Amino acid sequence: MNKNSSIIILSFIIISILNLSTLAEDEYKYAGEFLNVGAGARALGMGGAFVAVADDGTTGYWSPGGLPALEYREVSFMHCQQFDSLVRTNFISYVHPKSPLGAFGISWLRLGVEDIPRTGYVDSNKNMIQDFDDKNDNGIKDPGEYYIEKPYIADYFDDIEDGIFLSYGLNVVEGLSMGLNFKIIRQSLGQHSSSGWGLDLGALYELYKGFRFGINFQDLPKTRIRWGITEHEEEIPASVKFGAAYTADITSLKSVVTLAWNVDTKYDTTMHYGLEWWLVDILALRAGLDEGQLSVGTGLRMSSFQVDYAFVGHDDLGSTHRVSTSVRF
């Protein structure tokens, strides 16, 4: 790819970021929020600055454009418990980068909150009634109708949210690979459920050896989620993740260092910064900033098996520990 082509690609990326950063709609700003919890302790230890790195089994989540550049098939798994173990997140993926038809991957992200108390009041027959004084029995809290104090815990319910990513990628020209995600979304909240689907388009471009740009256009044009009986529909607005990464070999120290940066337009324009330092291809040390929150991590590689750990800070909701494993073959 010549210099003029590179300039055209970079100009397109910049224009796309400027356009998509204005598309978020406040009404459904946090629809499908569970899809943003992150995948893989390695990427999270680097502050989530991974869209231009995208070189392991979590690539389908961060950017399907990285799939064709992978060297190995890989199975990855991550588990974490957040906010005093109230929220549990699991992620599992498989990538198959080399086949006559291109690169393939499948990922499954699940977030669950169990035993959420349902509050209300019961009548003489132990049937639950409204937890406010519904004077006209219309089921809606109107002006002048006051909430009743000391609600009764009638029962408990669960919130289970699933996202499945079906990924496909191709090498377009030398140095440029592209990929597509087809996302299937399923949510259940007590007796109610919703479903939807969406598309992501990612690309990875190596400007020169070790220096790469990555981009992931998410939820194109919009991802719609419809809730069962009510037919209420939510929309996840289109957004874009764009980043750059530079990887260098330090032969004198027998190590490899990667510096990474991301900008994310999901809600507001947010920045992510990451650093990874592999020592003798065995031990990794990582650090990052995720929207100003510090993250650190480490990794241990033994032949084809790897285990990673990340500590992710949060000023308001508390810090979390994430552990993931992967096997290459």
Q: Smallest Cα–Cα separation from 153: which of 180, 121, 123, 185? A: 121
pLDDT of residue 324: 97
Q: Smallest Cα–Cα separation from 215: which of 199, 203, 205? A: 203
Q: pLDDT band at residue 23, thresholds of 50, 70 and 90?
A: very low
Q: Render pLDDT for 259-294 as a digit per residue (tens, 0 to 9).
A: 999 999 877 789 999 999 999 999 999 999 998 899
Q: pLDDT band at residue 154, thresholds of 50, 70 and 90?
A: low
pLDDT of residue 68: 95
Q: pLDDT band at residue 18, thresholds of 50, 70 and 90?
A: very low
> Is the confidence at residue 218, as pLDDT, over 90?
yes
Mean pLDDT of 175-180: 94
Domains of the chain: 3-328 (2.40.160.40)
Q: Render pLDDT for 229-255 as a digit per residue (tens, 0 to 9).
A: 677 888 898 899 999 999 999 998 889
Best-predicted range by mean pLDDT (227-241, 292-306, 310-324): 292-306
Mean pLDDT of 40-55: 97
Tell me the C-alpha distance between 242 and 202, whole Å.
10
Contact between residue 299 and residue 307 where contact means Cβ atoms under 8 Å apart:
yes
Q: What is the dihedral of CA 59, 61, 62, 64, to 10 degrees?
A: 60
> Is the confidence at residue 24, as pLDDT, over 60?
no
186 or 123, which is more confident: 186
What the block records as the tokens of 290 is 């995720």
pLDDT of residue 82: 75
Q: Smallest Cα–Cα separation from 215: which of 2, 10, 5? A: 10
Tell me the C-alpha distance between 50 and 43, whole Å.
6
Q: In the 3-class helix/strand/coil scheme, how is the chain assigned residue by residue?
A: CCHHHHHHHHHHHHHHHHHHCCCCCHHHCCCCHHHHCCCCHHHHHCCCCCCCCCCCCCHHHHCHHHHHHCCCCEEEEEEEEECCCCEEEEEEEEEECCCCCCEEEEEEEEEEEEEEEEEEEECCCCCEECCECCCCCCCCCCCCCCECCCCEEEEEEEEEEEEEEEEEEEEEECCEEEEEEEEEEEEEECCEEEEEEEEEEEEEEEEECCEEEEEEEEEEEEEEEEECCCCEEEEEEEEEEEEEEEEEEEHHHCEEEEEEEEEECCCCCEEEEEEEEEECCCEEEEEEEECCEEEEEEEEEECCEEEEEEEECCCCCCCEEEEEEEEEC
> Is the confidence at residue 135, as pLDDT, over 90?
no
pLDDT of residue 142: 80
Q: Tell me how crowded residue 166 is: count the other CB atoms within 10 A of its CB.
A: 16
Mean pLDDT of 131-146: 74
pLDDT of residue 147: 64
233 or 148, which is more confident: 233
Residue 260 exposure: Cα atoms within 13 Å on the Cβ side: 34
Mean pLDDT of 139-157: 69
33 or 96, which is more confident: 96
What the block records as the tokens of 59 is 């690539």
For 142, residues 6+ apart whose C-beta sits below 8 A from its C-beta are: 135, 136
> Is the confidence at residue 201, as pLDDT, over 70?
yes
15 or 225, which is more confident: 225
Tell me the C-alpha distance between 214 and 13, whole Å.
9
188 or 3, which is more confident: 188
Mean pLDDT of 38-44: 96
Distance of alpha carbon 284 from the chain centroid: 22
Q: Render pLDDT for 96-120 as a digit per residue (tens, 0 to 9).
A: 998 989 999 999 999 998 887 776 5
> Is the confidence at residue 157, as pLDDT, over 70?
yes
Tell me the C-alpha distance between 315 and 329, whole Å.
39
Q: How high is the mean pLDDT of the chain?
A: 85
> Is the confidence at residue 3, as pLDDT, over 60?
no
